[in-house]
């Protein structure tokens, strides 16, 4: 007969012994690798400058393959945007071969990316391009704050959840919302870009309640020096989000091309690792996560980050071999001769006065638009096109971005005020001949080569053509620029409305020269646009040079810095500081 008393005693003993057993503990190690701002640097070769590239996806893949030997499927590979613009490889598959699968998607699929994120230069390719690329990717492209205006829902997935070794990892993607300040609406028609912090707070609640992740990663295409753009958009708010929205363990940044790896405390007192690998795949964000689990629940996290140099891992021959046919296609594309330059042109003189480099762009803009006045800046910090035959790859030196050409109505006063802000960003206020002419920053951030020693970005250093003027560097901003008249000898009128040719970045409010400088509201800018080209300025430069066949570059000499007796020695010193000994 079954003895209930004995059975009860047995169960009590078993329960007691179970309570004495140690909890089941185990350790899970994860590796997260982030690329950002690759800017078309896929091959270990720079097609623009015709030299080996220090970074590239081919190098990243060598690093990833090595790390996967250790971490296997516990390695998560992420890209944080601005991958679709920069090198001719991206340009070719964006706009010329639009039938083949997008090479960028093919490469990222080959490398085993787990998720991507949208960057502003990806949006700049236009919806036809970035939607095609995203559709070709066999992994999700994220963008929690990129909203479809028709549905009110995110155009891309707001986040993705990965499960690795019983651990749930949520990755939320966002982009800087300042897109409308830089890019024409026809490139992102039907979309809007919402505030990062508000978006993060909304989706963090959903992720926590619905997904119950063990680790939360923010992947934000925005830098860390937060500022308001046009009074409407909070730009570079990544660190603010990390600090003000509890729940993130890691925030991966991009956009500002400056290396960063540090921990901050959020408002809940928790530590958040923030990282930025700068640009061009020279380094990657390398995050090592160790999680201790007890009975299936995470009880401890150790998160460490380092910026790993891709140059230490060599080049993946497997990658290069697989994409060799596309390499040959791009080599043939960039090698096409389009004309001849009688002299070498460089951006270097452009910081010290009129230059043949920038004035060639001015001349083209005036010719295409029929405008009265042109605004243009050196878009690359330090580049040149040598005397002799000119090829397609040189055009990526001459004009770095895929900007359209706008013609806008601006008053004489607005023109002057925009120039005042430009030269305020550009020049120091000299108090003696020994002072700097240029406005330098105190400390240079590693990885921020495109800013070099300048306090501000040189792509906002607009000069003008079509008017004769001086810039007095002894005066404060607002009093530097004196316009003597139009280049054709007619008077310049502060109250007259002029047609001004400028690129779409500037015309949409980029650099704030027209908004903050000229005092035109962001909404008003659209009403000032008379016309826009349907193709980018680089395309028209190529057409212009092919038509002319021989270009004799020359400075228009329509403006100058004064007083010249101070400017001349300061220019020599500042040139040497930036570039070394002046070329003869």
The token pair at 326 is: 């596309």
User: Which region among 6-10, 282-286, 324-328 has the lowest average model confidence (pLDDT)?
Assistant: 6-10
> Coil, strand, or helix at residue 188?
coil
Mean pLDDT of 453-473: 96
Q: Is the pLDDT of residue 19 over 50?
A: no
> Which of 330, 385, 383 lies closest to 40 in space, CA to CA?
330
Res 580: pLDDT = 84
Res 453: pLDDT = 86
Q: Is the pLDDT of residue 7 over 80?
A: no
Res 9: pLDDT = 45
Give me the chain's average pLDDT, please: 93
Q: What is the pLDDT of residues 101-110, one digit of tens each?
A: 999 999 999 9
Res 10: pLDDT = 45
Any residues with CB less than 8 A from the CB of 285 and at least 6 apart, and which? Answer: 32, 33, 34, 35, 36, 252, 261, 275, 276, 277, 305, 307
User: What is the architecture of the domain spanning 25-331?
Assistant: 4-Layer Sandwich (3.60)
Q: What is the pLDDT of residues 365-404, one digit of tens each?
A: 999 999 999 999 999 899 999 999 999 999 999 998 899 9
Res 296: pLDDT = 87
Return the domain boundaries, the chain: 25-331, 336-579
Length of the chain equals 584
Res 441: pLDDT = 86
Containing 52, the helix (H) or strand (E) segment is: strand 51-52
* Overall CATH class of domain 336-579: alpha beta
Q: What is the pLDDT of residues 261-285, one digit of tens each?
A: 999 999 999 999 999 999 999 999 9
Q: What is the pLDDT of residues 475-513, one digit of tens each?
A: 999 999 999 999 999 999 999 999 999 999 999 999 999
Q: What is the pLDDT of residues 540-576, one digit of tens each?
A: 999 999 999 999 999 999 999 999 999 999 999 999 9
User: Which region among 63-72, 155-164, 575-584 has the lowest average model confidence (pLDDT)?
Assistant: 575-584
Q: What is the pLDDT of residues 420-461, one digit of tens each?
A: 999 999 999 999 999 999 999 876 555 445 456 899 999 999
Hunting for tokens 């928790």 — which residue is that? 270
User: Which region among 14-28, 287-301, 447-461 has the lowest average model confidence (pLDDT)?
Assistant: 14-28
Strand extents, DSSP E, 328-486: 337-341, 345-346, 373-376, 384-385, 388-391, 405-411, 463-465, 467-472, 481-486
Mean pLDDT of 236-245: 98
Res 582: pLDDT = 55
Residue 555's Cβ-count burial label (10 Å; 0-12, 13-18, 19+) is middle
User: Which region among 76-85, 148-157, 444-453, 508-517 has the lowest average model confidence (pLDDT)?
Assistant: 444-453
Res 21: pLDDT = 46
Mean pLDDT of 360-366: 96
Res 214: pLDDT = 98
Q: What percentage of the chain exceeds 90 in pLDDT?
A: 90
* Domain 25-331 identical in fold to domain 336-579: no
Mean pLDDT of 157-170: 97
Report the predicted TM-score, pTM, of the whole model to 2 decimal places: 0.89
Q: Is the pLDDT of residue 2 over 80?
A: no
Res 575: pLDDT = 95
Quote the CA–CA distance of 437 and 565 in Å, as a whole number: 12
Quote the CA–CA distance of 155 and 148 in Å, as a whole number: 5
Q: Is the pLDDT of residue 22 over 80?
A: no
Quote the CA–CA distance of 214 and 209 in Å, as a whole number: 12
């Amino acid at each position: 007969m079954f003895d209930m008393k004995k059975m009860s005693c047995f169960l009590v003993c078993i329960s007691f012994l179970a309570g004495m057993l140690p909890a089941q503990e185990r350790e899970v190690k994860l590796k997260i690798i982030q690329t950002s701002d690759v800017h078309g640097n896929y091959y270990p070769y720079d097609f623009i400058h015709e030299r080996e590239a220090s970074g590239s996806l081919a190098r990243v893949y060598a690093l990833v393959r090595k790390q996967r030997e250790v971490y296997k499927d516990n390695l998560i590979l992420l890209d944080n945007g601005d991958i679709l613009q920069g090198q001719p490889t991206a340009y070719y598959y964006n706009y010329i071969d639009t039938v083949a699968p997008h090479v960028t998607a093919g490469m990222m699929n080959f490398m085993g990316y787990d998720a991507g994120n949208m960057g502003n230069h990806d949006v700049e390719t236009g919806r036809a391009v970035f939607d095609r690329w995203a559709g070709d990717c066999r992994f999700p492209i994220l963008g929690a704050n990129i909203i479809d205006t028709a549905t009110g829902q995110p155009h891309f997935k707001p986040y993705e959840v990965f499960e690795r070794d019983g651990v749930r990892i949520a990755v939320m993607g966002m982009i800087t919302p300042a897109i409308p300040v830089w890019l024409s609406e026809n490139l992102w028609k039907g979309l809007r870009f919402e505030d990062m912090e508000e978006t993060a707070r909304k989706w963090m609640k959903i992720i926590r309640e619905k997904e119950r992740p063990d680790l939360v990663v923010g992947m934000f295409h925005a830098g860390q020096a937060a500022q308001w753009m046009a009074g409407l958009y909070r730009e570079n708010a990544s660190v603010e989000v990390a600090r003000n929205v509890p729940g993130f363990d890691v925030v991966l940044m991009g956009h500002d091309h400056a290396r960063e790896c540090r921990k901050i405390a959020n408002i809940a007192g928790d530590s958040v690792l923030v990282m930025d690998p700068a640009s061009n795949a020279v380094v990657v964000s390398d995050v090592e996560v160790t999680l201790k689990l007890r009975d299936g629940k995470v009880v401890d996290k150790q998160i460490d980050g380092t910026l790993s140099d891709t140059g230490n891992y060599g080049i993946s021959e497997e990658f290069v071999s697989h994409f060799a046919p596309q390499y040959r296609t791009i080599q043939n594309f960039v090698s096409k001769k389009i004309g001849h330059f009688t002299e070498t042109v460089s951006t270097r003189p452009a910081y010290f006065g009129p230059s043949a480099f920038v004035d060639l762009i001015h001349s083209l803009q005036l010719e295409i638009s029929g405008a009265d006045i042109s605004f243009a800046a050196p878009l690359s910090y330090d580049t040149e096109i040598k005397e002799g035959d000119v090829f397609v790859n040189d055009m990526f030196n001459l004009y770095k971005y895929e900007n359209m050409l706008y013609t806008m109505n601006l008053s004489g006063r607005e023109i002057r005020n925009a120039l005042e802000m430009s030269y305020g960003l550009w020049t120091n206020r000299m108090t003696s001949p020994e002072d700097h002419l240029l406005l330098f920053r105190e400390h240079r951030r590693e990885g921020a080569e495109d800013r070099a020693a300048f306090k501000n970005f040189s792509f906002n250093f607009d000069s003008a053509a079509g008017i004769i003027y001086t810039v007095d560097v002894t005066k404060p901003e607002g009093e530097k620029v004196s316009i003597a008249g139009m280049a054709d000898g007619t008077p310049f009128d502060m109250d007259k409305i002029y047609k001004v040719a400028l690129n779409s970045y500037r015309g949409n409010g980029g650099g704030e020269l027209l908004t903050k400088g000229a005092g035109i509201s962001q909404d008003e800018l659209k009403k000032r646009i008379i016309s826009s080209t349907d193709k980018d300025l680089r395309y028209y430069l190529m057409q212009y040079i092919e038509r002319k066949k021989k270009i004799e570059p020359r400075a228009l000499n329509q403006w100058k810095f004064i007083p010249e007796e101070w400017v001349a020695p300061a220019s020599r010193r500042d040139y040497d500081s930036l570039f070394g000994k002046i070329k003869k």
